[in-house]
Amino acid sequence: SFSDGVPSDSVEAAKNATDTEKLTDQVMQNPRVLAALQERLDSVPHTPSSYIETLPKAVKRRINALKQLQVRCAHIEAKFYEEVHDLERKYAALYQPLFDKRREFITGDVEPTDAESEWHSENEEEEKLAGDVKNKVVITEKEAATAEEPNPKGIPEFWFTIFRNVDMLSELVQEYDEPILKHLQDIKVKFSDPGQPMSFVLEFHFEPNDYFTNSVLTKTYKMKSEPDKADPFSFEGPEIVDCDGCTIDWKKGKNVTVKTIKKKQKHKGRGTVRTITKQVPNESFFNFFSPLKGKSDGFALDEDSEFTLASDFEIGHFFRERIVPRAVLYFTGEAVEDDDNFEEGEEGEEEELEGDEEGEDEDDMEINPKVGNFGATQTSSLCCTVRFLKTFPTLRQ
């Protein structure tokens, strides 16, 4: 039907719209309704992404241009780290003669001279005064004891002691690994040659022993320094992406990475029982040389395997950056104490910052530059950047 030439359904729709608008106006004038609506709006999270969505298209276009610049910055940063690796390789060659002499002193192949053996401790003066008083009383007894004092070759169990002192390593060592590690004479780090893919090799040098015929066991860590194509903004420097071990030529009955178990089998038809023996994997530090393979092999890892691989990368980096360069300090325990103090200091600062957040307004808070993202709070000098690379490696699978 029509009313003045207008379809009746259109008239009805217009009337309903008018009624709805009136009802809405009445509701919006209700203070309780307005308060509830305001509370709902206040509860909506105002995230950076939600703010970006409100910007005009012209501004979003300029932001996209900034992101392109950021990707180019990431590629330049990758080149920077490649040059850092070249610099590291150069200085490794300068360190090596000192590390070679360190090995000679440890193994006893060379005896240090008096000048090389001279060392002044921080408490030397106090120790000297106390020693002088004591020496006046027991000088004869001391001379006799010195004459009888044993003089072992080199520094016995040097590297094995480091394994015991460092929690990260001692957790990997089983009781049956210990006699083998006592034959460890040196650990070296070798960097990839110029022009080759970025990597480093850990070499564990052993003296002849009753367990395996290898004189050197190796672990190779493969690295990359390039932004991920799918997520270039995640780039934070070189990352270890995979590792390869080596084959250990165990002597008969000496392989500690496997254990032999006996199992009874019952024949289904005859009912007879027989005992069979089989070898199963065994926990051992020497599994370190048979690592899991990463996703590059074409299969995904479960959560436990991901964790194991990440831990392996962390241990490799720790050998390279801490254990090998500062071995004597881990032997004496001084470096272990420094590491513990560093960790406790970090936790203390974090707790203190949390306390400030509870007791003070944001405007009154002091920002501690040691808390949070290292790269965002430090200068961009070469030294700080290299320290960031050494102290906080990126561990991804």
pLDDT at position 359: 46
HSE-CB at 4 with a 13 A cutoff on CA atoms is 2
Range of the structural domain that residue 90 is part of: 57-115+123-354+378-395
Pair of tokens at residue 103: 């090995």
* Per-residue confidence (pLDDT) for residue 358, from 0 to 100: 46
DSSP 147: H
Cα(10)–Cα(185) distance, rounded to whole angstroms? 95
Q: Identify whether 11 is part of a domain.
A: no
Cβ contacts of 169-177, under 8 Å, gap ≥ 24: 169/285, 169/315, 169/323, 172/285, 172/288, 172/315, 173/285, 174/256, 174/283, 174/284, 174/285, 176/256, 176/284, 177/256, 177/284, 177/285, 177/286
Could you tell me if residue 89 is inside a domain? yes
Cβ neighbors of 78 (< 8 A, separation 6 or more) are 225, 226, 227, 235
> Taking Cα atoms as reference points, which of 73, 88, 80, 283 lies closest to residue 177?
283
Strands 239-244 and 394-395: what pairing?
A: parallel
DSSP annotation of 232 reads G
Residue 284 lies in a domain: yes
pTM of structure: 0.68
Closest CA to 227 of 374, 70, 86: 70
Q: How many domains does the chain have?
A: 1
Instruction: Give a yes or no: residue 48 inside a domain.
Output: no
Q: Is 329 part of any domain?
A: yes
Nearest to 116 by CA among 328, 258, 305: 328
CA–CA distances in Å: residue 54 to residues 38, 57, 58, 72, 107? 19, 9, 12, 27, 70
Q: Residues, the chain, total?
A: 397
Q: Fill in the DSSP letter of residue 99.
A: H
Residue 370 lies in a domain: no
Residue 151 inside a domain? The answer is: yes
Q: What is the pLDDT of residue 109?
A: 95
Q: What is the DSSP string of 275-330?
A: EEEEEEE---GGGGGSPPP-GGGSS---HHHHHHHHHHHHHHHHIIIIITTTHHHH
Whole-number Å distance between alpha carbons of 238 and 78: 8
Structural domain contains residue 35? no
> Would you give per-residue pLDDT tens digits along the chain (397 residues)?
545 555 566 656 666 666 666 666 666 677 776 677 667 656 656 677 778 888 888 988 999 999 999 999 999 999 999 888 899 999 999 999 999 999 999 999 999 999 999 988 766 655 565 555 555 555 555 555 555 778 899 999 999 999 999 999 999 999 999 999 999 999 999 999 888 889 999 999 999 999 999 999 999 999 888 888 888 888 888 888 889 999 999 999 999 999 988 887 777 777 777 777 888 899 999 999 998 876 545 556 677 778 888 899 999 999 999 999 999 999 999 988 877 765 555 555 554 444 444 444 444 433 333 323 323 323 333 333 343 344 444 443 3
Which CATH number fits the domain that encloses residue 105? Answer: 3.30.1120.90
DSSP 337-367: HHHHHHHHHHHHHHHHHHHHHHHS-GGGPPP
